[in-house]
Chains A and B, each alone.
Chain A
Amino acid sequence: MSQNAEKVIDHFELFRGPEYTGMLENKKCMFENPVPAEELERVSEWTKSDEYRKINFARAALTINPAKACQPLGAVFAALGFEGTLPFVHGSQGCVAYYRSHFSRHFKEPTSAVSSSMTEDAAVFGGLKNMIDGLANCYTLYKPKMIAVSTTCMAEVIGDDLNAFIKNSKEAGSVPETLDVPFAHTPAFVGSHVTGYDNSLKGIIEHFWDGKAGTAPKLERKPNGKLNFIGGFDGYTVGNMREIKRLFDLMGIEYTILGDNSDVWDTPGDGEFRMYDGGTTLEDAANAVHAKATISMQEFCTEKTLELIENKGQEVVAFNHPVGVEGTDRFLLEVSRLTGKSIPTAITKERGRLVDAIADSSAHIHGKKFALYGDPDLTLGLAAFLLELGAEPTHILSTNGGKAWQEKAEALLASSPFGKNCHVYAGKDLWHMRSLLFTEPVDFLIGNTYGKFLERDTKTPLIRLGFPIFDRHHHHRYPVWGYQGGLNVLVTILDKIFDQMDQTTNDVAKNDYSFDIIR
């Protein structure tokens, strides 16, 4: 059936029409030399076997469906958390187009970043000219207050020296001498987006605190009672940052958020395009050196940054993306200890409400088996929450998790009877996860949007928690931190459990005796 102007149908239905199915079938038979259906079935079944799992885990060179992204993606994330800042990625423009679309697909907001658009001649002769022209153009076109430079692989492979290049650019007059142009080398062939976040944030902080690449005197730290807060690379940054600010305000704390993306990725639909919105002011970023202490919510996103801050004489405390009652308890207690401010009744009540919600419905989660993958800190935070709920994490996998992460995850699992049958997989990918789900099935899978392929293949229902989430909208606007955030995660998990119950009991006159109104 071709399109009818009365009722134009979309791709869901259109290509199911006989002329299209016939066309595709015809092409397959005549030109694709397909394997017989039985052979296809045999191989498909074989990929689900223990035998295949062994081969899969012996894989040495090939990565299939990695659950991680590259350093500059994290660098762009960190840069966008500062007031009026344009992320400038020195390298090829294709990479930068990816970062912009990646973030826009997750946050449903435009994301601004530019590149020096290096081409073949730049790769041969070095990218200095691209840097000089690029900084001049983006400064003139987009009027940023700060340009945060990071790199793609291309610039890193030829070894462009950002420090010298920026100096040369300023000397060539492409941007004013006084413009803040922090930088960080962020090759994708090292680490992942969490590493890039760390490098970029460290670059920005170092720029302000350590004399702006030799153009200003280093700041002398005069300790005050303030607290610095770093969220890390976080798909829930919009909701989380607002929640953290609310909690800090309730406690009456003086704080500086280092890297606040909550406004730039949540601009109002009022007809005005905001290329820049909110973010940590440059003044605050500089003054953050005087703070008493710095808290990072994600240890593995801020390893080098915290080292820098600690060396300035501040106390630093790192968490692993705390989710749930105990995680939030520990976070707030540290905040309280560092600032000397007590935790007000209003927050204690929020805690009680989360505990109440857990008590009301945890029987549905208790004893269920979960597979979990994602960034190192997120998986630790979620695993701790699952243990708290009596769920049994069974596979925890992080493509960008290393040995330190693995040890931390194993220690966490050892601390609870619900973690005893769980295995931790550092550096593995989602094709490994596929084998795990077939050979040691679980009740639910927690992961990002890419988990939907695993859900389709293994029929393990996917609970979307992580980054990126492209195929469900707006969850990034809700926090997963704080007690309120714990409640959101609890509800997200429960919704899937109940949906699953409904979907497995709705076959009329077969199993709908359990298709219940009350769950």
Chain B
Amino acid sequence: MNQRGKKLQQVFEEPACATNQAKPSQERKKGCNRQLAPGAAAGGCAFDGAKITLQPITDVAHLIHGPIACEGNSWDSRGARSSGPQLYRTSFTTNMNEQDIIFGGEKHLYKAIKEIVEKYDPPAVFVYQTCVPSMIGDDLEAVCKAASKKLCKPVIPINVPGFVGSKNLGNKLAGEALLEYVIGTEEPEVTTPYDINIIGEYNLSGELWQVKPLLDELGVRILSCISGDAKYHEVARSHRARAAMMVCSKAMINVARKMEERYGIPFFEGSFYGIGDMSEALRSIAQLLVGRGAPAELLDRTEVVIRREESRAWQRIAPYRERLAGKRVLLFTGGVKSWSVVAALQEAGMVITGTSVKKSTPADKDRIKELVKEDAHMFDDLKPREMYKMLKEAQADIMLSGGRTQFVALKAKMPWLDINQERHHAYAGYEGMVALVHEIDKALSNPMWELVRNPAPWESAAGMEALSIQIA
């Protein structure tokens, strides 16, 4: 079994992943992702998953080894914000050509790494393997190892050709690469009893920054966020954190669990979405830190901050509750957001008519059940046509989903709000919830829905009547 095969097997057997553990051992070997149905619409590949997981590390050069397809279509497509370096947004690719495919791309790749180091001198180069070089047998690990040695620079292989599986698998493989090559390779200059890691937070639209001021106020230091607004050295030193928060339940569970196993860093799963969840997250961080020896007064200080922030947030949401109470929401998103957003919307007085649980774990599902009470509200895999039907039949007033499903909502003439990675607003923390409620209110009050919902006036008698009144 080659290195990638071994890694895959490890990921499939990830003990903290309840989905995997629920499977019989034979099935587990096949992989944690369902085989995709050929011909049916599907999401991104493992390469995509790995890239979106690691690309938020801002000072690293991310080099994509492959023909133009992989990088050409994905260059800088996530709004992961950086507080400094912009190198992560520069597109590096070997842009393989026919000659490379006939004679092999290893030399080409080595030269590309060398050129990056000479021109940019980043703290590390992350090299992503894609389908084509993998199929012709380019040995990514060997090239990276040789390059690391010759160039005296960490060159990290991320072996994620798209064909190995889904985007989610790619997230995990990216985590494995960090565990194997990055985490624990450097030591922090100082450590404090208040050092934490935040795992699975990507600082999309700057969401980490919405939360960070509160942690700063409490004196809690983010030793490393993996990987939002992260710098290479922070990730390399993250093994000295005292506790960790695991934000997106399925993407990097292996990282959190293995860091606990290797370095004794306890973690909890939490969310920054929703007022209650945000408070719970702060509380859990404080508890874990105190459990690891931080002074107990941290707990009291945390409660003070929570009380203050909750009441501030409620005050700002209150004016909206009146307008949003009873509005029915269809949630179509993945993983942790399905329950964490449910709680948030309920806080704004809205009713959840349905939520997708496609990427959610059984634990996620339990939490949703707890929140929405009825099983019928959960959809495992809502096909666009069914989604369209639901919206069309007006079982909801607004849909919250990712960019890919927005067009279904629009065709069904249903207000829609983007809450996935391509959104333009930050919804984390207490601040974010006020922003989310504001955006929902805005979406619902947008006058264009009138235009969208109504047919051309000459196609309806009511429309003609309304117009004739206005003309008169």
Residues of A whose CB lies within 8 Å of any CB of B are 325-326, 329-330, 332-334, 336, 342-343, 348, 351-352, 355-356, 358-360, 362-363, 366-367, 387-390, 416, 418, 508-509, 512-514, 516-519
Contact = CB atoms under 8 A, between A and B. Distances in A.
Contact of A348 (B445, B448, B456): B456
A358 B448 contact: yes
A390 B424 CA distance: 19
Nearest to B438: A367
A326 B467 CA distance: 9
B448 A390 contact: yes
Interface of B: 75-77, 79, 81-84, 86, 206, 410, 422, 424, 442-443, 445-448, 451-452, 456-459, 464, 467, 470-471
Contact of A356 (B76, B410, B424): B410
22 contacts: A326-B451, A330-B470, A333-B471, A336-B458, A342-B458, A343-B458, A348-B456, A348-B459, A355-B452, A358-B448, A359-B410, A360-B410, A366-B442, A366-B448, A367-B442, A388-B447, A390-B447, A416-B447, A508-B86, A513-B81, A513-B206, A519-B424
Nearest to A360: B410
Nearest to A514: B81
Given A343-B458, A513-B206, A517-B77, 14 more contacts: A343-B456, A348-B459, A355-B448, A358-B448, A359-B410, A362-B446, A367-B442, A389-B448, A416-B447, A509-B84, A513-B81, A514-B81, A517-B75, A519-B424
Contacts of A355: 448, 451-452
Interface of A is mostly: helix
Nearest to A325: B451
A359 B407 CA distance: 10
Contacts of B456: 329, 343, 348, 351-352
A514 B77 CA distance: 12
User: Quick one: which of B84, B443, B448 has the most chain A CB within 10 A?
Assistant: B448
Contacts of A359: 410, 448, 451-452
Contact of A329 (B75, B410, B448, B467): B467
Nearest to A317: B471
Contact of B83 (A351, A387, A416, A513): A513
A49 B72 CA distance: 51
A334 B442 CA distance: 33
B81 A388 contact: no
Contacts of B77: 517-518
A329 B457 contact: yes
A329 B456 CA distance: 8
A512 B443 CA distance: 27
A95 B218 CA distance: 73
A365 B447 CA distance: 11
Nearest to B455: A348
B447 A387 contact: yes
Contacts of A509: 84, 86
B203 to A, nearest CB: 9
A365 to B, nearest CB: 9
Contacts of A366: 442, 446-448
Nearest to B203: A513
Nearest 7 pairs of A and B residues by beta carbon: A513-B81, A362-B448, A390-B447, A517-B76, A366-B446, A355-B451, A358-B448
B75 A388 contact: no
Contacts of A519: 424
B401 to A, nearest CB: 14
Contacts of B457: 329, 333
User: Quick one: which of B76, B82, B458 has the most chain A CB within 10 A?
Assistant: B458
B424 to A, nearest CB: 8
A365 B26 CA distance: 55
Contact of B79 (A329, A336, A351, A516): A516
B470 A388 contact: no
User: Quick one: which of A356, A358, A513 has the most chain B CB within 10 A?
Assistant: A513
User: Quick one: which of B206, B459, B471 has the most chain A CB within 10 A?
Assistant: B471
Nearest to A361: B448
Nearest to B84: A509
B447 A418 contact: yes
A336 B468 CA distance: 13
Contacts of B467: 329-330, 333
Contacts of A336: 458
A322 to B, nearest CB: 12
A205 B298 CA distance: 87
B114 to A, nearest CB: 27
Contacts of A329: 456-457, 467
B86 A518 contact: no
A469 to B, nearest CB: 27
A387 B448 CA distance: 10
Nearest to B403: A518
Contacts of B84: 509
A332 B471 CA distance: 12
Nearest to A351: B456
User: Quick one: which of B84, B445, B457 has the most chain A CB within 10 A?
Assistant: B457
A418 B410 CA distance: 22
A516 B423 CA distance: 11
Nearest to B409: A359
A333 B458 contact: yes
Contact of A518 (B79, B445, B447, B448): B79
Nearest to A519: B424
B126 to A, nearest CB: 20
Contacts of B424: 516, 519
A8 to B, nearest CB: 35
A514 B86 CA distance: 11
Contacts of A388: 447-448, 451
Nearest to B450: A388
Contacts of A517: 75-77
Contacts of A352: 456
A471 B180 CA distance: 59
A363 B451 CA distance: 14
Nearest to A336: B458
A144 to B, nearest CB: 40
B422 A518 contact: yes
Contacts of B458: 332-333, 336, 342-343, 348
B320 to A, nearest CB: 14
A334 B79 contact: no
Nearest to A324: B451
A363 B82 contact: no
A512 B451 contact: no
Contacts of B471: 330, 333-334
A351 B457 CA distance: 11
A370 to B, nearest CB: 15
Contact of A363 (B81, B206, B446): B446
Nearest to B75: A517
A513 B451 contact: no
A514 B424 CA distance: 9
Contact of B443 (A342, A363, A418, A514): A363
Contacts of A343: 456, 458
A321 B464 CA distance: 21
B337 to A, nearest CB: 19
B335 to A, nearest CB: 21
Contacts of B452: 355, 358-359
A431 B254 CA distance: 65
Nearest to A516: B79
A351 B459 CA distance: 12
A470 B75 CA distance: 38
Contacts of A348: 456, 458-459
Nearest to A329: B457
Contacts of B86: 508-509, 512
A429 B401 CA distance: 47
A360 B82 CA distance: 28
Contacts of B442: 363, 366-367
A509 B58 CA distance: 12
B152 to A, nearest CB: 27
Contacts of B451: 325-326, 355, 358-359, 388
Contacts of B82: 513
